[in-house]
Structure 1
């Protein structure tokens, strides 16, 4: 906790100053003749533009672009704001002074701020919202209310109740208490009424302190004191001092032995080697021989094994590499279209090594952390400690350390979409692996950006080479390649000459008709599973729905269990034996009887990964089965452990959602089963066909990657669907041509741009009124480009009623800027409309 006016510690460095030095100038009146410097800052708030503050004369030399400053915003709240500009002209409005400069060195670069400005403009949000998404949580400081004794309180405890007495007594022992401290003392959540009562009695008063969240990790270490540290020849004197204590002599000998092997010696190392405890080291410290101190260490760890040279390139990889380099010479992004198992990662590695040799940094983007476990282990073998990983499972302190690592020039940064925001110094290469993946899209909160598209702009800012790689390109990227905007490089064969897996369709209608269907498994799939396990090989089963059963229904009247906050069915989870909402997390027990008609004939319908896992144990009792979905990989290392167990053969069958489709490489996987192709194809979305084709082709690619041709079985009721026929033939060109024709006919991307606007409120009548006004403003300016308002597929989420507008915009920069200006104006007007200021407006540019 840092008191108002004191300088908080920083992740880059920590400065110690007195309160007087920092605050003295800020407390003086500003006069006309005084020299003034002003700073434009971004606050972590959704403000329409940067805010301006005055810099006190004592801090002028320290205020600089990219540093954080402590400021007061509003009546009393304090924040750490980020300087993005300095100027000498005074603004038209009154300005407050900055309170302190937090950093000695900038924590962001000018290229980062340029990217943030572009994102705020393109994705219709504010700089503060981009800053919130970009900065690690522990670099965003906000003030916290603290309680201290009032100077008017005369230590007379009469008139205080028991709880008030406890707080007053605690404040006599400790100068300040946070709200959380008070909750802990009283063992209750609601403390504000108590605080209000104590304020009225003038026992306490409140103030705002800026809280420093980042704390370096330290470990207890030991070292020699002087003169022994600089004059080793005097160590005999040290041993003489310890001659009466055998344990202390052993500890000193252990320390000297360890110090020859290690850069620094931990206390625990001495304890373990000499078999002593802390009392021995403290005694040696009192005798002036050893010094106990805290040493700051990294939380990120390091790669301690020896690196190995990457294997030689195949002829196909060499050809692809040459094609990519030629395209880079023409300053075009490159789309690398390589079938699953063709060895794209080896091509990436070669390009990364060349970039590092030029002294450049590399950003390796993956759609989600599910892919990082295997990729990082492969790349570490080549790049060792040069590579670092950045994703949402890291702790806030780890994120700060990696941020600093990027700022200091760490050569390779690998991560999910948020790694775009890191402070690169010399970014030379951006690799966007699995570029088609919808996980690159951020939906909530703002900015609602697409990491693939943003990475292309980031590459433009840095003059970097950009490579997009995938086995199933997005339609937009492939069209850009067809038009010549991207260069196209193809790898059509699997590495080592292996054949692509054989794909077969299983007609569930026929299986049902012949009574061969067992629960959700066709006879063909069960037979293939038994044969695969009999050969000592592994299988992956894909079902894009987690939980046990998605519907709990009364077979008499048709009632089904729904979330009380969202318009969706509750999913049954057998492990927890309850019903859960996958939108808001609401949980409920299974009702023993139908709440509508009272009948007890309640049935679970549909199936998710949990049910598949459960039923497989009946049909294949000897099989070792595990599940990979959001429920099983919540822990920080749970996903890595699961992949490791499957990779090392401790599991036979892996059941999973789309996590199992993405970029994983398992040597013994011979069979892949898709349990419900119809579910993928019937989703109400114009991209349903594209998503289904990509998912099925990707999961099919997990089979037969090392020794023998794999087998893929796709179950469905409508096996004549054109997408399934294209998957069966591996016909991306045919899929692309048909899908693009449909998109053009029905006016969907990539033939035009989309902006989706969602209005939200807890009262349906309020959101209806807002939608009518919003429709009036939009259609007056944009006419037929506007569709809606309409109820979305899920019309209520987390207690908010939703109404959607969709704007279809013909291609052209002028059209897009015109629409954005009108949307901003309509949103501003709605916020000023009487009674409608509480209606939330979410704007999503390129929503799919």
Structure 2
């Protein structure tokens, strides 16, 4: 077999192709003779699958063995070079096997839609299109001409226009040159990224003319300072942003506008590549503290021993600075880094810091980029030119020289993909990806997950502790306000204790800021009738609708259903409908009564939907334009503001009473993380935890900052009741629009599994939310010893049961969802 093309030396050539579909296997196609020398593993090809459907597939392997069924030929070769690496394909196959899904589902999740065209793909002319046809061949021109008339075309339409089956290579060329776009891309309103900049007008091009400008500004100290700063910046930067001038000199924008009126400066927009890591050069990092020096040496020692490292450092201990030191060393060797964050939208400060230090060697990759931007980064990573910071989706990028993987806030539940398949955990896939590349791994957090802690305890991971905050700043003082006691005293308010209100007032009087945490959005989670206790529920799900006051709408947070609140009870006709419970919108509303002069803002999924809404909100808070920020668990992630003096947790009991075996762990993590936002810069902060169950052991652990006590008790509880990480858990959910059919399917499948799995199977049973998005649900839970062979055996039995159910008359419509390591 040829080493470069992976093709057999002679005879008929066949290719196993991965398609972006939920298929249990790859399918084999024949390779036409003229394509033999063009194909390699990882190259995209156009194939026909089914009667009329065309897809972009990935060549997995080339061989000379006939598959035993009638094969179709590959229609066209799309790429000149492989777009997918062998390592990526191995990771896809591992994910499919471990998470009980298909390689096609992993491919569909991992590739930008620009790279996985299908017959149904809709194309349209791009915003950068011009009428110049001199650079187009005849086929390209025919497609563009048709688009000027019809505006949108499917790839099936393109085949009809060109009168040929193989159109994907033509489409690829037009996409690469941005002459056409995918329709869904344009819905993202792609625009080139532009910076607002300042430059000298043509009247000040020479050095003598620039010095002469000082005469025009001699009467204004601020204008003189701006001109001096501009000349200084000119020596080091290819372009100068307006914001840089105002920040460095303290001058307002009006000062610069006055200089524009005098003809010295002019404003313009500078277009930059969206994959640029930073707008300027890499900056210098501060000196390491003694704790950071020790931690860095320990991490390097574990890496030399070939172990992943868990860095357990309190909030504000300077973990990111340690990561930066390691990243700079790797980048200095010309190798690649992957830095994972739970949610890229919530970690803008960390991203800015990484880019400030590492410059354009690192780019941000996430779902809010349009497909052209994502493909641009994809190709740069494949060429080995770029390192990446991003959420779990960045794991799918084609790294070729990966040497370091950092998983920041490794405990965060956002790393777990819920819908659709593959239902993977980004932290665990990151560790496996690093293993495939022979790269080093760091997992960092102030509150390690029990899984990672257990791996460190057993010696599988190295453990590095950073117990002090950087700069010697004390951890925040934590106080519990007893909601039960305050209510018994007849306090005026149901969810603000006098303790919290008084501390908020004192904090604002000192000129500091406040963060308030409430883990429910909306105004009130329940809208009910006090006469007959009827609750308004979603028509699609068995959950109550949440009232949103600003929109005056009831909304389902599971499926998105919305309705106008009824003026009278649908059950008994009573006109006295009431609201129950508390959400972030209600907290914000009530605070305006207590603190009418405070500048308030709310940070939750409702207020941060726009592409730039979250960044603008955080920027206002960072600049001191806001006094109080009320938010959901968004406020616990990656925020570092020097003026935050107080953090309030409105209702800790909500976190502790959640019906999940991870409830205590998540409550501890959330409370510690949000508490860590207080007093991170110059002085000790304060945290007020409001709770009914003041004596709950988790609250005591948070107050005492005693992670070891918490983790010891939680470990004993999990081991005793057979929960992860002491068993491997597989969650099986059956879904169907009819309750009787899903119950029948669950009973039949449960019987098959029980016969083979015995006591390792719990269920089937109806979950607490028995209907979701119009589907009735039945569930089963499988607990398996954490042994690879046993886990694979159980997965094999489970897969056979799923297949058998799919062949059973009347039950073919039952959908089975398998979630390995549910989170």
TM-score for the superposition, normalised by structure 2: 0.82
Quick one: distance in 2 between partners of 1:262 and 1:721?
A: 58
8 Å CA contact retained: 1:324, 1:334: yes
Quote the residue 1:52 is aligned against. 28
Quote the residue 1:254 is aligned against. none
Quote the residue 1:842 is aligned against. 817
8 Å CA contact retained: 1:434, 1:470: yes
| 2:535 equivalent to 1:560 | yes
2:577 maps to which of 602, 612, 626:
602
| 2:100 equivalent to 1:124 | yes
Quote the residue 2:797 is aligned against. 822
2:51 maps to which of 67, 75, 81:
75
Q: Structure 1: 5+ residue runs without aligned partners?
A: 1-33, 148-170, 184-194, 196-204, 221-260, 264-295
Quote the residue 2:525 is aligned against. 550
8 Å CA contact retained: 2:122, 2:153: no
8 Å CA contact retained: 1:403, 1:423: yes
8 Å CA contact retained: 1:146, 1:178: no
1:390 maps to which of 365, 373, 379:
365
Quick one: distance in 2 between partners of 1:709 and 1:503?
A: 11
Task: Kindly state the Cα deviation for residue 207 of structure 1 after the two structures are TM-superposed.
Answer: 9.3
Quote the residue 1:676 is aligned against. 651
Deviations 1:469-507 (Å, cap 9, x if unpaired)?
Answer: 000001111111111111110001000001000011110
Quote the residue 1:372 is aligned against. 347
Q: 1:146 to 1:844 in 2, by over 3 A?
A: closer
Task: Kindly state the Cα deviation for residue 305 of structure 1 after the two structures are TM-superposed.
Answer: 2.4
Quote the residue 2:630 is aligned against. 655
8 Å CA contact retained: 2:38, 2:80: yes
Q: 1:128 to 1:766 in 2, by over 3 A?
A: same
3-state DSSP of counterpart to 1:468: strand
Deviations 1:91-128 (Å, cap 9, x if unpaired)?
Answer: 21111011110011111111100100100000000000
2:732 maps to which of 735, 750, 757:
757
Task: Kindly state the Cα deviation for residue 35 of structure 1 after the two structures are TM-superposed.
Answer: 4.1
Quote the residue 1:38 is aligned against. 14
Deviations 1:249-295 (Å, cap 9, x if unpaired)?
Answer: xxxxxxxxxxxx999xxxxxxxxxxxxxxxxxxxxxxxxxxxxxxxx
| 2:488 equivalent to 1:513 | yes
Task: Kindly state the Cα deviation for residue 513 of structure 1 after the two structures are TM-superposed.
Answer: 1.2
8 Å CA contact retained: 2:277, 2:362: no
Quote the residue 1:362 is aligned against. 337
Deviations 1:744-785 (Å, cap 9, x if unpaired)?
Answer: 111111111100000000111110110111011100000111
Task: Kindly state the Cα deviation for residue 306 of structure 1 after the two structures are TM-superposed.
Answer: 3.4
8 Å CA contact retained: 2:650, 2:689: yes
3-state DSSP of counterpart to 1:144: coil
Quick one: distance in 1 between partners of 2:383 and 2:327?
A: 18
Task: Kindly state the Cα deviation for residue 539 of structure 1 after the two structures are TM-superposed.
Answer: 0.6
Task: Report matched runs for 1:399-548 at 5 Å.
Answer: 399-548=374-523
Task: Kindly state the Cα deviation for residue 89 of structure 1 after the two structures are TM-superposed.
Answer: 2.1
Quote the residue 1:102 is aligned against. 78
3-state DSSP of counterpart to 1:60: helix
Quote the residue 2:293 is aligned against. 318
Deviations 1:495-546 (Å, cap 9, x if unpaired)?
Answer: 0001000011110011111122424111000000001111110010001111
Quick one: distance in 2 between partners of 1:658 and 1:578?
A: 23
| 2:537 equivalent to 1:581 | no
Quote the residue 2:202 is aligned against. none
Quick one: distance in 1 between partners of 2:384 and 2:83?
A: 13
Quick one: distance in 1 between partners of 2:591 and 2:689?
A: 17
| 2:112 equivalent to 1:136 | yes
Quick one: distance in 2 between partners of 1:496 and 1:600?
A: 60
Quick one: distance in 2 between partners of 1:758 and 1:134?
A: 24
Task: Kindly state the Cα deviation for residue 412 of structure 1 after the two structures are TM-superposed.
Answer: 2.4
8 Å CA contact retained: 2:541, 2:559: yes
Deviations 1:177-229 (Å, cap 9, x if unpaired)?
Answer: 9999599xxxxxxxxxxx9xxxxxxxxx9999756594545899xxxxxxxxx
Task: Report matched runs for 1:227-266 at 5 Å.
Answer: none
Task: Kindly state the Cα deviation for residue 307 of structure 1 after the two structures are TM-superposed.
Answer: 2.7
Quick one: distance in 2 between partners of 1:685 and 1:660?
A: 22
Task: Kindly state the Cα deviation for residue 663 of structure 1 after the two structures are TM-superposed.
Answer: 2.1
Q: 1:713 to 1:69 in 2, by over 3 A?
A: same
Quick one: distance in 2 between partners of 1:646 and 1:746?
A: 44
Q: 1:181 to 1:114 in 2, by over 3 A?
A: closer
Quick one: distance in 2 between partners of 1:262 and 1:311?
A: 25
3-state DSSP of counterpart to 2:120: strand
Quick one: distance in 1 between partners of 2:644 and 2:432?
A: 38
Task: Kindly state the Cα deviation for residue 380 of structure 1 after the two structures are TM-superposed.
Answer: 1.2
8 Å CA contact retained: 1:372, 1:415: no
Quote the residue 1:796 is aligned against. 771
3-state DSSP of counterpart to 1:41: strand
Quick one: distance in 1 between partners of 2:610 and 2:483?
A: 37
Quick one: distance in 2 between partners of 1:208 and 1:575?
A: 53
Q: 1:432 to 1:75 in 2, by over 3 A?
A: same
3-state DSSP of counterpart to 1:566: coil
Quote the residue 1:240 is aligned against. none
2:91 maps to which of 67, 91, 115:
115
Quote the residue 1:776 is aligned against. 751
Q: Structure 2: 5+ residue runs without aligned partners?
A: 1-9, 124-141, 158-162, 180-190, 193-236, 240-270
**What root-mean-square deviation, in Å, do the aligned CA atoms of Structure 1 and Structure 2 show?**
2.6
Quote the residue 1:345 is aligned against. 320
Task: Report matched runs for 1:623-772 at 5 Å.
Answer: 623-772=598-747
| 2:66 equivalent to 1:90 | yes
8 Å CA contact retained: 1:53, 1:95: yes
Quick one: distance in 2 between partners of 1:636 and 1:680?
A: 29
1:62 maps to which of 26, 32, 38:
38
Quote the residue 1:331 is aligned against. 306
Deviating more after overlay: 174-183 vs 523-532: 174-183
Deviations 1:557-608 (Å, cap 9, x if unpaired)?
Answer: 0111110001100001112110000011000001011010000110111111
8 Å CA contact retained: 2:276, 2:363: no
Quick one: distance in 1 between partners of 2:620 and 2:484?
A: 36
Quick one: distance in 2 between partners of 1:720 and 1:828?
A: 50
Q: 1:576 to 1:515 in 2, by over 3 A?
A: same
Deviations 1:126-176 (Å, cap 9, x if unpaired)?
Answer: 0000001111111110013999xxxxxxxxxxxxxxxxxxxxxxx9x9879
TM-score for the superposition, normalised by structure 1: 0.80
Quick one: distance in 2 between partners of 1:178 and 1:445?
A: 37
Task: Kindly state the Cα deviation for residue 376 of structure 1 after the two structures are TM-superposed.
Answer: 1.1
Quote the residue 1:274 is aligned against. none
Quick one: distance in 2 between partners of 1:573 and 1:435?
A: 33
Quick one: distance in 1 between partners of 2:463 and 2:633?
A: 27
Quick one: distance in 1 between partners of 2:538 and 2:175?
A: 38
Quote the residue 2:265 is aligned against. none
Quick one: distance in 2 between partners of 1:182 and 1:311?
A: 54
